[in-house]
Amino acid sequence: MPLGLSTDLYQLTMAAGYFEAGKLEERATFELFVRRLPHNRNFVLAAGLAQAVEYLENLRYTKEEIDYLRTLPQFAHTSPAFFDYLAELRFTGDLFAVPEGTPLFPNEPFLTLRAPLVEAQIPETYLLATIGFQSMIATKAARVVKAALGRSVVEFGTRRAHSPEAGVYAGRASYIGGCGGTSNTEAGMRFGVPVFGTAAHSWVMSFSSERQAFEQLQKLLGESTVYLIDSYDTLEGARRAAELGRPLWGVRLDSGNMVTLAPAVRKILDDAGLRETKIMATGDLNEYKIHELVAARAPIDVFGVGTELSTSADAPTLGVVYKMVELEDSGNRRYTAKLSEDKHTLPGSKQIFRYRTHDVLARSSECLNAPETLLRPVMLGGQLIEPLPTADEARNHAAECLSRLPASCQSLFERPEAWRVDLSPELEALYENVRKGIAK
Amino acid sequence: MPLGLSTDLYQLTMAAGYFEAGKLEERATFELFVRRLPHNRNFVLAAGLAQAVEYLENLRYTKEEIDYLRTLPQFAHTSPAFFDYLAELRFTGDLFAVPEGTPLFPNEPFLTLRAPLVEAQIPETYLLATIGFQSMIATKAARVVKAALGRSVVEFGTRRAHSPEAGVYAGRASYIGGCGGTSNTEAGMRFGVPVFGTAAHSWVMSFSSERQAFEQLQKLLGESTVYLIDSYDTLEGARRAAELGRPLWGVRLDSGNMVTLAPAVRKILDDAGLRETKIMATGDLNEYKIHELVAARAPIDVFGVGTELSTSADAPTLGVVYKMVELEDSGNRRYTAKLSEDKHTLPGSKQIFRYRTHDVLARSSECLNAPETLLRPVMLGGQLIEPLPTADEARNHAAECLSRLPASCQSLFERPEAWRVDLSPELEALYENVRKGIAK
């Protein structure tokens, strides 16, 4: 599928402008980061790099797309040579990034992209949307998984995701964030995410009795059987499940008061000798409700989390930005920053050094003796330098990184001092110089 | 692109179950609707039907997808004949829907789908995601446009949309909701939505002076020129724009206090004789802030709304559901409903009759003498019966429908009594009968 127009128009008008202004040889460095953390978040888990790379590898403009652009008033004065140039455009730059599953903090680059100005500018919109969304969801998933305190969490939110494609990536990102799997079958096939799901209310309703619906499901699924037991009366449903006995993986509750229903259902199952049968809870769950259910010792083994996870409903936007930090023209390097009062940025290409208790954000040319250096080369000269980690590997990396963060970072609520990010003296000095040099 | 797996796994396990249970000949009717309105909404604007139809027309399973499904434990007991059936599956059913751009209220179907059980079940997830998302965004757009009281609104939120594809559909849905256009170029090409955008801060920063950046932009864009004037100092930027003079479409403010900046910028432009030059405001805007800016008489001509629009940030989820309402087996029709206390649904296929002051939700077999009957046939026997309205036509339809709603419906805040939806006596009676028949 062509991806070239999946961007803001101004990236393309700017591209035309850089072409016309003879700036094709200039090399720009951009960084993608968040200025501040969303509501109740003490970190952001980086995700979406694989799709960012896929985009950069495949970015090109078809004849049809170029013909469309020619019709726009914004290109009325653009020389035909620009469109020939656009037809040949490929990404030839370098990409540095933190591995998917790495927790990050404000001002820390998810990625650094260095390329001829046009190639660095056009990808802005797509990179922000793909990294921003998946990072937002991976972060939300990590919170939900944390709240579940070792119980399984499965992502069930495709139907409420912001478009079907968002559902696929929500499945992927939730898995990286620690979920055990997803209901999104496309995410299963494309990314190797374990997939879950058995039957809906419509299944139960399509039979003339609940018992018949359960029998048919058991015949179909065997040891994978999960009955949805709340279509008519939850405790009746549980008794029916108990009567039918094994094979039975679990029962699912989708409505009602889980704190009272779950123990009652557990007792019915246990009394029938079905001690290994699991109870799954679904229905408008989130990390806050799961925290309460766990605190109330509701005997729930698996949480299926939908809408609230696939939309990050309590914080549905992640303020990712993509800012130019350097510009090189025939060997002459200029450091750039946005200086407007409420939205300033730090100039110069950076590196994140992670210590046991804090990070140091430094210039990329610095070499600090830290246990971890987070930004690593991913593409050089437009080519991927080694295969990217799988979703599975990213998930393991996330789990390992999160286990090393202090508990305060993983609080469900805001802890402003949870993690310290210092600026290196060299970076501070650069910022001051740029301020003095540009600002009057 | 194959779409078959872009669904919850349980749709496919249920499909296998219906196949195994010999229920291929049963015809089900499902309705898609919202149970309640989101925060501060007094209606939902239906959108996304075109993509729903595209999905139904193209739904099929590739060999690769089927091979993947065979590997899943949930299909361990499924007979090979099911996969042969799946390979041949096409949507052959009927689809009734309200036109895109129609305002709807709780329990009113956006669409009614009638098809063999499997064909009706599998599309659930995709239809919910595509109709739910676009309707949510079209609704949000209508609110933003209303708040702007005749000033233009352009959608600029692709970068913060939930994945790049969500950005494309946010552009489409915002246009249907009344925006004048979008920055999403793909939405421009695919759906004929007008596209807008000129340059970012990085453009300004890529030149050694703001003046040079402006000059180059003016040369490039001529009468489409819009300067972003807040990179260094907004009023300085405005003076620089005034010096350069015509051609100049407008200037854009992206930070700072718009209530004080906009009049100051207006004065600078007017003093230079640039009375027709427009002022565009961007930067974390939404309907509430626009309402305040308009009330404060800030001389802003165009609002560019990004993140808050493309994510519907104040109400980022729309609780669309897809429920079976009828099931027909060899001429024997059964009406189905979900009766659990907090999530009950109304049985039977329905029609929405719209009067000047209220709606009547009735059985589809009823014929009421109302000015408008909202649900119309769209596909019969799997075939589209006539071309769907374009995004432009849907936008006009929305504007016309919204102009007929009372002002209370279009309030930015909750007005619980804004619009009445009555149930017809026949529908009430059916509901009671189903309750008595199913519930014990």
Domain identity same for A223 and A365: no
In chain A, residues with a C-beta closer than 8 Å to the C-beta of B129 are 158-164, 166-167
Q: What percent of chain B has pLDDT over 70?
A: 98
Is B93 among the domain residues?
yes
Q: Looking at residue A176, which CATH number applies to its domain?
A: 3.20.20.70
Residues A230-251 pLDDT 10s: 988 999 999 999 999 999 999 9
Nearest to A172 by CA among A159, A190, A197, A160: A190
- How close B347 gets to chain A, by Cα (Å)? 11
**Contact (Cβ atoms closer than 8 angstroms) between residue A251 and residue A227:** yes
Is B335 among the domain residues?
yes
Residues B115-127 pLDDT 10s: 999 999 999 999 9
- How close B371 gets to chain A, by Cα (Å)? 33
Cα-flanking dihedrals φ and ψ of residue B95, to 5°? -130, 125
Domain identity same for A296 and A188: yes
Q: Which residues contact B259 (CB under 8 A, 6 or more apart)?
A: B293, B296, B298
Residues A18-39 pLDDT 10s: 999 999 999 999 999 999 999 9
Residues B139-155 pLDDT 10s: 999 999 999 999 999 99
Instruction: Give residue B311's identity as a one-letter amino acid code.
Output: T
Q: Characterize the bridge pairing of strands B376-380 and B94-97.
A: antiparallel
DSSP letter (8 states) at residue B390 = P
Number of H helices, E strands in chain B: 16, 19
Residue B331 region by backbone torsions, left for phi larger than 0, else alpha for psi between -120 and 50, else beta = left
Cα-flanking dihedrals φ and ψ of residue A2, to 5°? -65, 140
CB contact under 8 A, A9 and B167: no
CA distance A435 to A440: 8
Cα-flanking dihedrals φ and ψ of residue B139, to 5°? -65, -45
Is A3 among the domain residues?
no
Domain identity same for B172 and B300: yes
CB contact under 8 A, A160 and B128: yes
Tokens of residue B386, six digits: 């006539």
Residue burial A348-379, b: 16+ Cβ < 10 Å; e: rest = bbbbbbbeeeebbbbbbeeeeebeeebbeebb
Is A1 among the domain residues?
no
In chain A, residues with a C-beta closer than 8 Å to the C-beta of B10 are 183, 197-200
CA distance B198 to A301: 53
Mean pLDDT of B160-185: 98
ipTM of the complex: 0.97
Give the 3-state DSSP-derived string for A270-282, with helices as H, strands as E and coil as C: HHCCCCCCEEEEC
Does A440 have pLDDT greater than 50?
no
CB contact under 8 A, A164 and B126: yes
Residue carrying structure tokens 């596209």: B195
pLDDT at B440: 34
Residues B35-77 pLDDT 10s: 999 999 999 999 999 999 999 999 999 999 999 999 999 999 9
How many CB atoms are closer than 10 A to CB B295? Answer: 11
Mean pLDDT of A170-189: 98
In chain B, residues with a C-beta closer than 8 Å to the C-beta of A53 are none
Does A74 have pLDDT greater than 50?
yes
Closest residue on chain A to B162 (Cα): A133
Mean pLDDT of B343-350: 90
Closest residue on chain A to B249 (Cα): A74
Residue burial A226-254, b: 16+ Cβ < 10 Å; e: rest = bbbbbbbbbeebbbbbbebeeebbbbbbb
Domain boundary among B252, B281, B310: B310
Nearest CB partner across the interface for B10, out of A128, A183, A222: A183
CA distance A108 to A90: 27
Q: What interhelical angle do B234-244 and B258-271 show, nearest 10?
A: 20
Domain identity same for B156 and B82: no
**Contact (Cβ atoms closer than 8 angstroms) between residue A362 and residue A427:** yes
Is A4 among the domain residues?
no
CA distance A278 to A304: 13
Does B31 have pLDDT greater than 70?
yes
Looking at the structure of chain B, the number of domains it has is 2
Nearest to A251 by CA among A273, A218, A268, A229: A229
Is B263 among the domain residues?
yes
Give the 3-state DSSP-derived string for B148-211, with helices as H, strands as E and coil as C: CCCCEEEECCHHHCCCHHHHHHHHHHHHHCCCCEECEHHHHHHHCCCECCCCCHHHHHHCCCHH
Q: For B4-19, give the DSSP string.
A: TTSSBHHHHHHHHHHH
Domain identity same for A73 and A105: yes
CB contact under 8 A, B188 and A21: no
How high does pLDDT run on average in chain A?
96
Q: Which residues contact B3 (CB under 8 A, 6 or more apart)?
A: A164, B55, B58, B59, B126
Instruction: Give residue A432's identity as a one-letter amino acid code.
Output: E
Q: Characterize the bridge pairing of strands A376-380 and A94-97.
A: antiparallel
Q: Spell out the alpha helix ranges (H) of B23-95.
A: 49-58, 63-70, 80-88
In chain B, residues with a C-beta closer than 8 Å to the C-beta of A208 are 334
Domain identity same for B217 and B295: yes
Domain identity same for A127 and A202: no
CB contact under 8 A, A8 and B159: yes
Does B270 have pLDDT greater than 60?
yes
- How close B56 gets to chain A, by Cα (Å)? 14
CB contact under 8 A, B162 and A12: no
CA distance B261 to B253: 8
CB contact under 8 A, A341 and B7: no
Is A276 among the domain residues?
yes
Residue carrying structure tokens 């210039």: A363
Q: Looking at residue A31, which CATH number applies to its domain?
A: 3.20.140.10
Nearest to A166 by CA among A124, A123, A195, A130: A130
Query: Distances from the Cα of A85 to the Cαs of A14, A20, A23, A62, A434, in angstroms?
Result: 14, 11, 13, 12, 34
Q: What percent of chain A has pLDDT over 90?
A: 92
**Contact (Cβ atoms closer than 8 angstroms) between residue A267 and residue A251:** no
Query: Distances from the Cα of A245 to the Cαs of A72, A86, A178, A221, in angstroms?
Result: 66, 65, 32, 13
Domain identity same for A156 and A278: yes
Nearest to B90 by CA among B3, B165, B170, B163: B3
Strand partners, B181: B154
Helix H or strand E encompassing B133: helix B124-147
Domain identity same for B109 and B247: no
Domain identity same for A202 and A123: no
Domain identity same for B93 and B193: no
Residues A128-139 pLDDT 10s: 999 999 999 999
Residue carrying structure tokens 């994945």: B163
Residue A40 region by backbone torsions, left for phi larger than 0, else alpha for psi between -120 and 50, else beta = left
The C-alpha torsion from A18 through A22 and A27 to A31, rounded to 10°, is: -20
pLDDT at B331: 85
Q: Label residue B439 by pLDDT band (50, 70, 90).
A: very low
Residue burial B75-98, b: 16+ Cβ < 10 Å; e: rest = bebbeeebbebbeebebebbbbbb
Closest residue on chain B to A256 (Cα): B342
Nearest CB partner across the interface for B203, out of A14, A125, A343: A14
- In this structure, chain B runs to a length of 440
Domain boundary among A310, A345, A371: A310
DSSP letter (8 states) at residue A424 = P
Range of the domain at A368: 9-131+319-438
Mutation to test the A interface, candidates B3, B160, B285, B318, most A Cβ within 10 Å? B160
Strand partners, B379: B95, B384
Mean pLDDT of B15-39: 96
Identify the three-state secondary structure at position A338. coil
CB contact under 8 A, A216 and B124: no
Q: Which residues contact A398 (CB under 8 A, 6 or more apart)?
A: A45, A100, A101, A102, A103, A138, A142, A176, A177, A178
Is B3 among the domain residues?
no
Domain boundary among A277, A310, A343: A310
CA B290 from centroid of its chain's CA atoms: 21
pLDDT at A439: 42
Nearest CB partner across the interface for B231, out of A221, A234, A340: A340
CA distance A110 to A374: 9
Does A438 have pLDDT greater than 70?
no
Q: For A260-308, give the DSSP string.
A: HHHHHHHHHHHHTT-TT-EEEE-SS--HHHHHHHHHTT----EEEE-HH
Residue carrying structure tokens 């953390």: A37
**Contact (Cβ atoms closer than 8 angstroms) between residue B32 and residue B320:** yes
Domain identity same for B183 and B294: yes
CB contact under 8 A, B168 and A221: no
